């Protein structure tokens, strides 16, 4: 099976973030790491390769620093990497990223494309689904399990409130992978050494420019959410407090 | 100019969260003066269309096809794409459910449009509508604007609006049945039955109500008190790190920088001091109630309602009152 | 029952052959790698038919990324960097050039400014740097030079055969709290190396193993230490100029404790502020993080920080022992660099330039060994000779008795220091002895219940969350993260001592001297003392204070699973 894993480099989860001068994005001088859901997508792809053979290719769109994500993926066992390298990718919307990916892989024939279910920075949860539509492929989201079945695959979809569903799909297909479905493997010393010699193809933004359009979504302003928090202290004997709280739970919080 | 809300139905029942989207849409309609319409998608879902028609909307569309009986993204997009191309609404609003996440981006892309997902609200600036969403795991909020032509697709986070505040219509709105042309061959996914499974790890990020305990609970056996409160409220039990470290609750119940980050409708913190490592995991909660003996406990800085007292005295009568209120 | 980290036994470990393994990606290890690369490049261009390869030279770094565990004030004496990379100032990340210094002696409410800056503390020509950023930059150069850096991998054990160090075992990954293999278990590699270069920084764990195994501390002074607690602050503009350097002594410490503070003006209105407390204080209730908070309450400091924001916190120990405490620097298959050896000038409060120089000298010996294919102790001893003939020895010789002079208090120390200044470092004796700091801890019974003169440092405090912070809040700003499900890496030989003897004798000082709240005494109804030790290993900032200061010498710090630890961005 030839699997493409779309990965993103995001600011480290608890890195202190600062707004840039125009207040439209964050300052880039922070620590970065791989988007955690993408790490699970990669792990699933590597497991599929171990089971069925084939190739795992990783792709990312971002500035030079994003290469780290690809290197780590190669060290874990991915075979090839594609780096759409340009700082401009950081502020392109999901649809444009999907278009860039589609253009970069137009000469390849993948059976499956995985993405994480969403990114820890934007949290849009769209790139994979958009990509499937651009490619004209079937897709499924928030996938927990993948099995080969009847010439295609059978996947387990997670639904709300503890519900699940199996879906049979033909290949090729795009799947967005749920986090936490397996234990992430560690890169080994040998893996890191070997990664240095694995192919890493760089694609300039100019090479995919013709597929891109102007952003259809723009962040006008990024800001720290204002919490006009005034703590209301409830006083008195426990029975009174209980009654006061019930009123609030009923009328203000609306959980009763 | 028209707003279209696509409501969600599951097995013949309206997903209540759609009422939240309707409430939001009604608010936007009031501010913009745009017409509000709704649509339901399925097979034999006329009753749901009627239910929605009872709310204050100008019209309801019942988009029907036997291929829409079971949800598949292909069928939904095949049905909605020509419908939207024909009706040309300005804004298409949906709740950010697992199902909507699955097909809405595909639908928007099929029409060459964009979707702003998981919004917590909207703003009107002049004649422009901006949609507010959280970014960087709630550290920042973003005001997002659309560029280009409508329709503009938006999904709203659960709890962004109050479903119980949806306005009823003075009289039922007209319901128009639309026969969608969805050829069976368009469906590439074959969905199986939906089933329930005891999940291996609890996903606190999905819980609407959380009751969390901290060191103030003193002993493992006292967690039962918090569990009673959680049950009475219909919520999940969670804990700050020391409780999970001690093995009194499993690690997947831990809230904080080394556990889960949650933003439920209601977070009740019992005997939690509010160290910053815990606060960062729950400060996005809509309403925070804190009970702590120490009036200087930092938890009170993020709490909406604070009770300085002994949780062993405060919680039991509360549980009783809740059980009474629930009847 | 706490399960402690131990390399798994009875499993097959992957083997990897190496020429040189450098344990530690700090300034010493990186300078060594870079210098070695330069020497190999030069050799290869001159001997095209006898090429040496860099393929088998590795740097092991336990942090997820180079620089994340690097913490220092810091002031860089550019002497060695100019030798390593002439003109480095043009491209290296430098916060500011030192413009002026001031030394203060603080009392509770007042201050005395030293009329002239004592020569050792004159910093003109030095640079204020962020060691984290500097190391990151050096690391990029090392990787660009073609030397593989394995970051996220710790050296957990030395491989020793007979009298020779034959390699390094890396950390076992994917081991759960009970030391059982998890689904993603990866055994640590046995990296077989012709020479192992230890550049682990202060109180290196492999260095400690080496010293114990080969009795390298025979005839040496015991190493003594201090611990620095540091905060980065963002201030309103104009408070302090970039390159302004302030040192303080005195308050909040008394004449019984050794230590003092630094304040360095950086760029973008960010200042580096910290307090070093000598790890030889008598009262076991002393808390170095608390000392830093108390220091900020001094009117001079309070005025400086008013309206500012604390953006990062960290802590690290420093080796103060000086020349007499430095062990033999090379042996059968090993060399020791930088802080691991103890190359720190405690009088000038600088060690980074010495670490870099030691790395360069070790690289020269390593290169000789590589080109002669001779890694015998005799060959590697060349490194020791290089150091003794270099300005490292010249500089450290002059201050060889400096720190020991303070063992009898501040005033005695000043007297000895003055004397040493005019006797080329000799002072009253050729070699001043030293006492390990933890042996100077007094038992609680010998001390006033409220702390006496140290009462202000021992009473209960919460911090005001604007100027002063409780330990957990400070800790949050260190960016510390570890895989939670792993065995405890603070290996305590006998927890019964913690739960019984130590409670009464010293009051469990680990709770106080650990700057990261790793150690806690919690209520235990079934323990005789009513208390038992509880560990929060994932809080650990890798400062090594516990390994140094525990009065019973039962704590051994070993590296946790690689990739975990603080994230000292900008520090």
pLDDT tens sequence across C196-206: 999 999 999 99
State the best of C25, C133, C173 to mutate against chain A, taking most chain A CBs within 10 Å. Answer: C173
Cα four-point dihedral sign B311, B312, B314, B320: positive
Please give the Cα distance from C258 to C266 (Å, whole number). 26
Mean pLDDT of C83-100: 96
- For residue A141, give the nearest of B102, B148, B314 by CB distance: B102
* Partner-chain contact B276 C534, CB within 8 Å: no
Each residue of B11-28: pLDDT tens digit?
Answer: 889 998 899 999 999 999
Least CB-CB distance to B98: which of A160, A222, A241? A160
Q: Which residue has the tokens 């005019």?
A: C422
pLDDT given at position C300 = 96
Lowest-pLDDT choice from A53-62, C252-261, C358-367, C510-519: C252-261
Amino acid B202: pLDDT: 77
Mean pLDDT of A126-136: 97
| Nearest one of C214, C266, C206, C345 to C74, comparing CA atoms | C266
Tell me the CATH number of domain A2-211, given options 3.40.50.620, 3.30.70.100, 2.160.20.10, 3.40.190.10: 3.40.50.620
Q: Do C14 and A190 touch (CB under 8 A)?
A: yes
Provide the Cα torsion C136, C142, C144, C147; round to 10°. -130
Q: Which residues pair with B179 in a beta bridge?
A: B64
Beta bridge partners of C71: none
Is B204-326 a CATH 3.40.50.1220 domain? yes
Residue ranges of domains in chain A? 2-211
Residue range B2-186 forms a domain whose CATH class is alpha beta
**Cβ–Cβ of C472/B251 closer than 8 Å?**
no
CB atoms near residue A237 (< 10 Å)? 11
pLDDT tens sequence across C215-232 = 999 999 999 999 999 999
Other beta carbons less than 10 A from residue B154's beta carbon: 29
Put simply, the answer to whether B305 touches A232 (Cβ < 8 Å) is: yes
Please state, for a pLDDT cut of 70, what percent of chain B lies above it: 99
Report the pLDDT averaged over residues C396-421. Answer: 88
Q: How confident is the model at residue C467 (pLDDT cuts 50, 70, 90)?
A: very high
Beta bridge partners of C233: C271, C310
Residue B284 pLDDT exceeds 90: no
Interface check for B327 against chain A (CB to CB < 8 A): the answer is no
Instruction: Check if the beta carbon of residue B210 is closer than 8 Å to that of residue B266.
Output: yes
Instruction: Count Cβ atoms below 10 Å from residue C543 Cβ, excluding itself.
Output: 30
* Contact in structure between C459 and C484 (CB atoms under 8 Å): no
Give me the CATH topology for the region C15-74+135-216+327-398.
Answer: FAD/NAD(P)-binding domain (3.50.50)
> Which residues in chain A have their CB less than 8 angstroms from residue B291's CB?
none
Instruction: Provide the token pair at A83.
Output: 């780096």
Note whether B116 contacts A: Cβ–Cβ < 8 A: yes
Buried b (16+ CB within 10 A) or exposed e, A89-109: beebbbbbbbbbbbbbbeeee
Task: Name the one residue in this structure whose structure tokens are 């001297």.
Answer: C513
Q: Taking Cα atoms as reference points, which of A62, A71, A28, A109 lies closest to residue A196?
A: A71
Using a CB-CB cut-off of 8 Å, the residues of chain C touching B296 are 462
Q: What is the mean pLDDT of residues C326-339?
A: 97
B206 in contact with chain A, both atoms CB, cutoff 8 A: yes
How far A185 CA lies from chain C's nearest CA (Å)? 5
Q: Closest CB to B277: pick one of C462, C476, C484.
A: C476
Q: pLDDT band at residue B200, thresholds of 50, 70 and 90? A: low
A183 vs C182, C189, C477: nearest CB: C182
- How far is A86 from chain C, CA to nearest CA, in Å? 20
pLDDT tens for each residue of A12-44: 887 788 899 899 999 988 889 999 999 999 999
3-state secondary structure of C32: helix
Measured between CB atoms, does B231 come within 8 Å of chain A? no
* Nearest chain B CA: its distance from A174 CA (Å): 12
The 8-class DSSP code of residue B222 comes to G
Q: Which of helix, strand or coil describes residue B207?
A: coil
- The whole-number pLDDT of residue B199 equals 62
Looking at chain B, which residues constitute the CATH 3.40.50.620 domain(s)?
2-186
Distances (CA, A) of B237 to A160, B208, B227: 19, 11, 6
Judged by a CB distance cut-off of 8 A, whether residue B258 touches chain C is yes
- C472 vs B246, B276, B296: nearest CB: B276
DSSP result, chain A: -EEEEE--EEE-TTPPP-B-TTSSSB-S-S-EEE-HHHHHHHHHHHHHHHHH--EEEEEEEESGGGHHHHHHHHHHT--EEEEEE-GGGGGS-HHHHHHHHHHHTTT---SEEEEESS-TTT----HHHHHHHHHT--EEEEEEEEEEETTEEEEEEE-GGGEEEEEEE-SSEEEEEPTTSSPPPPP-HHHHHHHTTS-EEEEEHHHHGGG----SEEEEEEEPPP----PEEP-S-HHHHHHHHHHHHHHTS---
pLDDT higher than threshold 70 for residue C294: yes
A123/B118 touch (CB, cutoff 8 Å), yes or no: yes
| Contact between B58 and B24 (Cβ < 8 Å) | no
Residue reference for tokens 């690289």? C363
- CB A158 to CB B98 under 8 A? yes
Which residues of chain A have a CB within 8 Å of the CB of C183? 182-183
Q: What are phi and psi for residue B270, nearest 5 degrees?
A: -105, 120
Is the whole-model pTM more than 0.90? yes
Q: Residues, chain B, total? A: 327
Which tokens go with A153? 């695959």
B257 contacts A14? CB cut-off 8 A: yes
> Where along chain B do the CATH 3.40.50.1220 domains lie?
204-326
Averaged confidence pLDDT in chain B: 92
What's residue A91's pLDDT? 87
**Encoding tokens for residue B47?**
């009753």
For C483-554, where are the E strands, in sequence order? 490-492, 519-523, 531-535
Alpha carbon of C476: minimum distance to chain B alpha carbons (Å)? 6
Rounded CA separation A56/A74 (Å): 9
Q: Which residues of A touch B326 (CB under 8 A)?
A: 256
Put simply, the answer to whether A125 touches B101 (Cβ < 8 Å) is yes
Do the Cβ atoms of B257 and C484 come within 8 Å? no
Q: Which residues of C touch B275 (CB under 8 A)?
A: 472-473, 476
Residues of A with Cβ-Cβ distance to C14 under 8 angstroms: 188-190
Residue B118 tokens, joined: 């998981």
A partners (3+ CB pairs within 8 A) are B, C
For residue C350, list its beta bridge partners.
Answer: C345
pLDDT for A164-208, tens place per residue? 999 999 999 999 999 888 899 999 999 999 999 999 999 999 999
Which residues in B lie closer than 8 A to residue A124 (C-beta atoms)? 117-118
Q: Would you call C472 and B296 a contact, using CB atoms and an 8 Å cutoff? A: no
Name which of C35, C29, C27 is nearest C60 in CA terms: C29
In sequence order, the β-bridge partners of residue B141 are A223, B134
Q: Which residues of C touch A183 (CB under 8 A)?
A: 174, 182-184
Position B47 scores a pLDDT of: 94
Instruction: Give yes or no for B289 touching A (CB within 8 A).
Output: yes
| A102 contacts in chain B (CB < 8 Å) | none
How distant is the alpha carbon of residue C471 from its chain centre?
A: 20
Q: Helix H segments across C76-192?
A: 79-84, 131-144
Q: Exposed/middle/buried for C214, CB within 10 Å: 0-12, 13-18, 19+?
A: middle
Q: Which chains touch B (3 or more CB pairs under 8 A)?
A: A, C
Q: Where do we find the tokens 């970065």?
A: A32
Whether residues A31 and C65 touch (CB distance < 8 A) is answered with: yes
Q: Show the CA angle centred on residue B195, arms to residues B193 and B199, nearest 5°.
A: 145
Q: Quickly state the pLDDT bin for C29 (edges 50, 70, 90).
A: very high
Q: What's the rounded mean pLDDT across residues C379-399?
A: 96
- Return the half-sphere exposure (C-beta side, CA atoms, 13 A cut-off) of residue B293: 10
Helix axes A127-135, A94-104, angle to 10 degrees: 50
Task: Report, as an integer, the average pLDDT of B200-222.
Answer: 87
The answer to whether the Cβ–Cβ distance between C569 and A30 falls below 8 Å is yes
Choosing among C484, C521, C533, C567, which should be mutated to test the B contact, i.e. which has the most B CBs within 10 A? C484
Q: Which residues of B touch A17 (CB under 8 A)?
A: 136, 139-140
- Out of B141, B307, B317, name the one closest to residue A234 (CB): B307
Computed over every residue of chain C, the mean pLDDT equals: 95
Backbone angles phi, psi at B174, to 5 degrees: -70, 145
Phi/psi of residue C71, nearest 5 degrees: -140, 130
- Mean pLDDT score of chain A: 93
Q: Which two tokens mark A44?
A: 């699933």
Cβ atoms of B108 and B116 within 8 Å: the answer is no
Determine the pLDDT at residue C459.
Answer: 82
- What count of CB pairs under 8 Å joins B to C? 21
| B300 CA to centre of own chain | 26
pLDDT the model gives residue A227: 67
Among B245, B276, B296, the residue with its CB nearest the CB of C473 is B276
Contacts of B246 in chain C (CB under 8 A): 534
Contact A31 C311 (CB under 8 A): no
Q: Which residues of C touch A189 (CB under 8 A)?
A: 14, 16, 150, 153, 170, 189, 191
pLDDT-above-70 percentage for chain C: 100
Say which residues have a Cβ less than 8 Å from residue B281's Cβ, sequence separation at least 6: B255, B256, B257, B259, B260, B261, B262
Contact criterion met (CB < 8 Å) for C465 and B275: no
Q: Which pLDDT score is estimated for B201?
A: 67
> pLDDT grade, residue A228 (50/70/90)?
low
Q: What is the pLDDT of residue B220?
A: 92
């Amino acid at each position: 099976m030839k699997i493409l894993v779309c990965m993103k480099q995001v600011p480290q989860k608890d890195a202190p973030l600062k707004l840039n001068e125009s207040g439209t994005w964050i300052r880039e001088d922070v620590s970065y790491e791989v988007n955690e859901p993408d790490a699970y997508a990669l792990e699933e792809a590597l497991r599929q390769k171990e089971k069925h053979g084939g190739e795992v290719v990783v792709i990312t769109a971002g500035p030079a620093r994003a290469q780290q994500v690809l290197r780590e993926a190669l060290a874990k066992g991915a075979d090839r990497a594609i780096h759409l390298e340009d700082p401009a990718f950081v502020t392109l919307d999901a649809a444009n990223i999907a278009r860039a990916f589609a253009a970069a892989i137009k000469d390849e024939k993948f059976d499956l494309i995985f993405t994480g279910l969403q990114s820890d920075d934007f949290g849009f949860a769209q790139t994979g689904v958009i990509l499937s539509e651009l490619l004209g492929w079937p897709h499924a989201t928030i996938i927990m399990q993948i099995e080969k079945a009847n010439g295609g695959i059978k996947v387990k979809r997670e639904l709300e409130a503890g519900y699940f569903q199996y879906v049979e799909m033909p290949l090729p297909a795009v799947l967005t992978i749920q986090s936490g479905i397996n234990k992430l493997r560690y890169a080994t010393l040998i893996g890191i050494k070997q990664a240095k010699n694995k192919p890493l193809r760089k694609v300039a933004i100019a090479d995919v420019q013709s597929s891109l359009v102007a952003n259809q979504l723009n962040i006008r302003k990024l800001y720290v959410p204002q919490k006009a928090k005034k703590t209301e202290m409830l006083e008195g004997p426990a029975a009174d407090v209980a009654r006061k709280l019930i009123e609030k739970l009923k009328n203000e919080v609306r959980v009763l | 100019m028209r707003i279209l809300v696509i409501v969600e139905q599951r097995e013949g029942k309206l997903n209540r969260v759609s009422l939240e989207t309707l409430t939001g849409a009604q608010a936007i309609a009031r501010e913009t003066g745009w017409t509000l319409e709704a649509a339901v998608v399925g097979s034999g879902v006329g009753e749901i269309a009627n239910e929605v028609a009872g709310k204050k909307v100008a019209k309801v569309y019942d988009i029907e096809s036997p291929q829409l009986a079971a949800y598949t993204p292909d069928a939904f997009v095949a049905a909605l794409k020509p419908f939207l191309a024909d009706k040309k609404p300005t804004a298409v609003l949906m709740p950010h459910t697992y199902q909507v996440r699955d097909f809405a981006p595909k639908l928007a892309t099929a029409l060459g449009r964009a979707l702003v997902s998981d919004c917590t609200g909207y703003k009107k600036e002049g004649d422009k509508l901006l949609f507010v969403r959280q970014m960087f795991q709630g550290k920042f909020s973003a005001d997002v604007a659309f560029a280009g032509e409508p329709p503009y697709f938006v999904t709203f986070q659960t709890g962004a609006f109050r479903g119980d505040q949806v306005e009823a219509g003075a009289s039922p709105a007209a319901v128009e049945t639309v026969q969608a042309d969805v050829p069976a061959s368009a469906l590439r996914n074959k969905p199986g039955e939906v089933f329930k499974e005891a999940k291996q790890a609890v996903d606190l990020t999905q819980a609407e109500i959380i009751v969390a305990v901290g060191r103030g609970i003193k002993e493992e056996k006292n967690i039962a008190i918090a569990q009673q409160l959680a049950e009475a409220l219909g919520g999940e039990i969670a804990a700050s790190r020391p409780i999970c470290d001690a093995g009194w609750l499993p690690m997947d119940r831990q809230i904080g920088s080394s556990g889960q980050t949650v933003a439920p409708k209601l977070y009740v913190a019992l005997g939690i001091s509010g160290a910053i490592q815990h606060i960062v995991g729950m400060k996005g909660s809509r309403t925070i109630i804190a009970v702590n003996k120490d009036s200087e406990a930092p938890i009170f800085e993020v709490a909406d309602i604070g009770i300085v007292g002994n949780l062993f005295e405060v919680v039991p009568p509360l549980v009783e009152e809740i059980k009474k209120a629930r009847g | 029952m706490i399960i402690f980290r131990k390399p798994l036994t009875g499993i097959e470990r992957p083997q990897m052959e190496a020429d040189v393994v450098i344990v530690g990606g700090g300034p010493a290890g990186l300078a060594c790698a870079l210098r070695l690369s330069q020497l190999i490049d030069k050799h290869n261009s001159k001997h095209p038919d006898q090429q040496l390869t860099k393929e088998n030279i590795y740097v092991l770094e336990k942090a997820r990324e180079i620089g994340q565990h690097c913490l220092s004030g810091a002031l860089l004496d550019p002497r060695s960097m100019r030798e390593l990379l002439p003109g480095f100032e043009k491209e290296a990340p430098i916060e500011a050039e030192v413009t002026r210094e001031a030394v203060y002696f603080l009392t509770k409410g007042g201050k005395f400014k030293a009329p002239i800056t004592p020569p050792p503390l004159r910093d003109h020509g030095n640079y204020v740097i962020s060691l984290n950023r500097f190391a990151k930059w050096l690391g990029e150069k090392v990787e660009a030079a073609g030397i593989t850096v394995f970051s996220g991998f710790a050296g957990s054990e030395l491989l020793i055969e007979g009298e020779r160090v034959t390699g390094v075992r890396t950390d076992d990954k994917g081991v759960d709290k009970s030391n059982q293999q998890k689904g993603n278990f990866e055994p640590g590699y046995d990296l077989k190396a012709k020479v192992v270069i230890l550049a682990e920084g202060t109180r290196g764990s492999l260095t400690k193993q080496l010293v114990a195994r080969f009795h390298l501390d025979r005839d040496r002074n015991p190493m003594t230490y201090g611990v620095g607690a540091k905060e980065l602050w963002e201030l309103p503009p104009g408070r302090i100029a970039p390159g302004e350097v302030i040192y303080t002594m005195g308050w909040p410490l008394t004449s019984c404790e050794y230590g003092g503070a630094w304040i360095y003006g950086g760029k973008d209105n960010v200042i580096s502020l910290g307090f070093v407390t000598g790890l030889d204080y008598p009262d076991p209730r002393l808390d170095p993080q608390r000392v830093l908070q108390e220091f900020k309450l001094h009117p001079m400091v309070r005025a400086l920080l008013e309206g500012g924001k604390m953006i990062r916190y960290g802590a690290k120990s420093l080796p103060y022992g000086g020349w007499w405490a430095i062990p033999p620097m090379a042996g059968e298959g090993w060399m020791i660099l930088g802080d691991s050896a103890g190359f720190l000038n405690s009088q000038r409060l600088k060690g980074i330039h010495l670490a870099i120089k030691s790395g360069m000298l070790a690289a020269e010996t390593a290169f000789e060994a590589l080109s002669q294919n001779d890694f015998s102790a005799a060959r590697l001893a060349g490194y020791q000779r290089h150091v003794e003939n270099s300005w490292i020895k010249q500089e450290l010789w002059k201050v060889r008795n400096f720190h020991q002079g303070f063992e009898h208090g501040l005033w005695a120390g000043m007297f000895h220091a003055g004397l040493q200044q005019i006797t080329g470092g000799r002072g009253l004796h050729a070699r001043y002895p030293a006492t390990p700091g933890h042996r100077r801890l007094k038992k609680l019974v010998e001390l006033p219940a409220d702390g006496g003169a140290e009462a202000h440092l021992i009473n209960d405090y919460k911090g005001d969350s604007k100027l002063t912070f409780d330990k957990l809040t400070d800790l949050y700003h260190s960016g510390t993260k570890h895989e939670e499900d792993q065995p405890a890496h603070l290996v305590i030989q006998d927890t019964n001592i913690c739960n019984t003897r130590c409670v009464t004798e010293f009051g469990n000082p680990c709770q106080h001297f650990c700057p990261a709240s790793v150690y806690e005494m919690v209520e235990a109804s079934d323990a005789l003392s009513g208390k038992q030790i509880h560990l929060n290993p994932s809080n650990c900032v890798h400062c090594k204070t516990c390994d140094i200061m525990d009065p019973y010498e039962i704590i051994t710090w070993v590296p946790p699973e690689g990739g975990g630890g603080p994230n000292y961005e900008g520090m």
